[in-house]
């Protein structure tokens, strides 16, 4: 069973628009979340992590975490064609006190149309 | 740019052949992971190491898979007898995994095609 559910499967936004992704964990042990981006032909690269309830903003990227519902989202404002990529949320059990593996969502394919 | 180096980038093997891929983790990162990303972009955790010791691993696919991270040598993942279903992108990742930084850094992967 998939422990991290991600939506939507794909997304197309105009250049300058807002892109939003959602992720929910079905396992209460997974409470630490990352967002990764993977361009074609590359490995995934971390965009940001979020471990506490609320919003976390880094430049054009804003993540939101609700630990009670185990829901995390990522929003990209002013989307650029270079943002076109696969986006994955990933969850782990414990942030720093054990070498817990990451469990990935299914991914969202983002296309930013000029 | 990622400092996790994976070789080769592409690997083509016939069914039943051995496939071996290597990974040099980022310097100073004691924790190494191997993941398999299939054609549907789904990730499957395979194994992780702290220095040379195995921390967690799946039931390594009927024992056809083996991995090691020897001291002063690249880490490696080997498939003893490749099957068509093994065709995937194999990603190596490393992490400093200290209290200040738990980010996991991925290499570009080795794309295995089993024909």
Beta pairing class for A108-113 and A10-14 = parallel
pLDDT digits (tens, 9 = 90+) for B61-106: 558 899 999 988 999 999 999 999 999 999 999 998 776 567 899 9
CA distance A19 to A101: 27
Average pLDDT over residues B20-47: 94
CA distance A20 to A22: 7
8 Å CB contact of A42 and B4 = no
8 Å CB contact of B41 and A103 = no
Please tell me if residue A96 touches chain B, with a CB cutoff of 8 Å: yes
CB of A92 closer than 8 Å to CB of A32? yes
Please tell me if residue A9 touches chain B, with a CB cutoff of 8 Å: no
Please tell me if residue B32 touches chain A, with a CB cutoff of 8 Å: no
Please tell me if residue B33 touches chain A, with a CB cutoff of 8 Å: yes
8 Å CB contact of A104 and B107 = no
pLDDT in tens, chain A (114 residues): 568 999 999 999 999 999 999 999 988 888 789 999 999 999 999 999 998 999 999 999 999 999 999 999 999 999 999 999 999 999 987 655 556 788 999 999 999 999
Nearest Cα neighbor of A22 from A89, A112, A109, A81 is: A89
Chain B closest-CA separation from residue A16 CA (Å): 26
């Amino acid at each position: 069973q998939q422990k991290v559910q991600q939506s939507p499967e794909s997304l197309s936004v105009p250049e300058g628009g807002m892109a939003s992704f959602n992720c929910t964990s079905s396992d209460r042990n997974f409470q630490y979340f990352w967002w990764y981006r993977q361009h074609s032909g590359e490995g995934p690269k971390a965009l940001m992590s979020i471990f506490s309830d609320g919003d976390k903003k880094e430049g054009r990227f804003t993540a939101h975490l609700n630990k009670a519902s185990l829901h995390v989202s990522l929003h990209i404002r002013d989307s650029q064609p270079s943002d076109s990529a696969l986006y994955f949320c990933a969850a782990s059990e414990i942030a720093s006190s054990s070498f817990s593996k990451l469990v990935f969502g299914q991914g969202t394919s983002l296309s930013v149309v000029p | 740019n990622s400092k996790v180096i994976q070789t080769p980038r592409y690997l083509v093997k016939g069914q039943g052949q051995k496939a071996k891929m290597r990974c040099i983790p980022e310097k100073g990162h004691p924790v190494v992971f191997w993941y398999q990303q299939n054609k549907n972009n789904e990730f499957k955790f395979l194994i992780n190491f702290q220095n040379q010791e195995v921390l967690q691993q799946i039931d390594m696919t009927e024992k056809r898979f083996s991995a090691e991270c020897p001291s002063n040598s690249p880490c490696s993942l080997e498939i003893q007898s490749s099957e068509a279903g093994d065709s995937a992108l194999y990603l190596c990742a490393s992490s400093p995994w200290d209290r200040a930084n738990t980010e996991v850094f991925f290499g570009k992967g080795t794309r295995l095609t089993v024909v």
